[in-house]
Amino acid sequence: MSTMRRILVCGLLALPLAGCATLSPRLEAPEIRVARIEMLKGDLLQQTLRVTLHARNPNGIALPVRGIQCDVEVAGERFAHGESEREFVVPAHGEADFDLAVTANAAAAVLRILGGAAKGGQLEYRMVGKVDLKSVLMRSLPFEQKGRVDLKQGLFTPGG
């Protein structure tokens, strides 16, 4: 087989793969923010929380979510890890609330939290994770949100 023929055959074999890559949608990560936190049980070293998150889908297609995993940092300290409890769908250009089962180990962050309370009651938080989709074309979407938590009022404000 000539070199030109080999190049042509390899090119033809690669075409379907290139087509799949261009057909897969370019999705934006959903915007995710904390809506509510409920303490289920805990002691000084470990807490179990139910965190309700609110997701807004900026995409023109629905996001069938298999699960969400995230880590939360408060005042620069790793504070909690959570995973969603069930599958759900965030409609195209729509919104949905969902719950995370969260395990927090506050021992490392308690001093920072107390320090934040002494400095006006404001602390920075960072939530980073991924949304696992039930789609064959797109497996997961990473996300990150930063904001402030007001310790006096228990309000989470997205933004820097």
Sketch the domain layout of the chain as residue ranges. 28-158
Q: Cα(138)–Cα(88) distance, rounded to whole angstroms?
A: 16
Half-sphere exposure of 75 (CA within 13 A, CB side): 18
Model pTM greater than 0.85? no
More confident residue, 16 or 159: 159
Per-residue DSSP letter, 28: P
CATH architecture of 28-158: Sandwich (2.60)
Alpha carbon of residue 54 to chain centroid: 11
Classify the C-alpha dihedral 114-119-120-123 as positive or negative: negative
Does residue 129 have a pLDDT over 50? yes
Q: 33-84 pLDDT, tens per residue?
A: 888 888 898 887 788 888 888 999 999 999 999 999 999 888 787 888 999 8
Task: Report pLDDT for 22.
Answer: 44
Beta partners for 102?
Answer: 49, 82
